[in-house]
Structure 1
Amino acid sequence: MIRAFEESDMDTVVAIWYKGSLQAHHFIVADYWASQVMDMREKYIPMSETHVLTTHSKVIGFISMVDNYLAALFIDTEWQNKGAGKQLLDFEKGRKSTIQVKVYKENLSAIRFYRKNTFVVKEEITDEQTDQREYLMEWNGES
Structure 2
Amino acid sequence: MPYSNKIKYLKKLDPNEKNSLLEIWEKSVLATHHFLDEKNFNIIKDYLKNAALTELQFLFYYKNKKLVGFLGFHHDIIEMLFIDPQYFRQKCGEKLIKKALNDFNIQRVEVNKDNFNAIKFYKKMGFKGDEEYVDDFGYTLIKLELE
TM-score of the two chains, using structure 1 as the length reference: 0.88
2:54 alignment counterpart: 46
- Count of aligned pairs between the two proteins: 139
Question: Does residue 68 of structure 2 align to residue 60 of structure 1?
Answer: yes
2:117 alignment counterpart: 109
Q: CA 1:48–1:22 in 2, change beyond 3 Å: closer, same or farther?
A: same
Question: Does residue 142 of structure 2 align to residue 138 of structure 1?
Answer: no
Deviates more, 1:81-90 or 1:96-105: 96-105
Q: Distance in 2 between matches of 1:58 and 1:27?
A: 29
1:90 alignment counterpart: 98
Moved over 4 A (4+): none
2:3 alignment counterpart: none
Q: Distance in 2 between matches of 1:69 and 1:18?
A: 22
RMSD of Structure 2 on Structure 1 (CA): 1.6
Superposed counterparts of 1:24-35, under 5 Å: 24-35=32-43
Q: CA 1:44–1:127 in 2, change beyond 3 Å: closer, same or farther?
A: farther
Gaps of 5+ in 2: 1-5
Deviates more, 1:23-32 or 1:116-125: 23-32
Q: Percent identity?
A: 22
Helix, strand or coil for the counterpart of 1:120?
strand
Gaps of 5+ in 1: none
> 1:125 Cα shift?
1.3
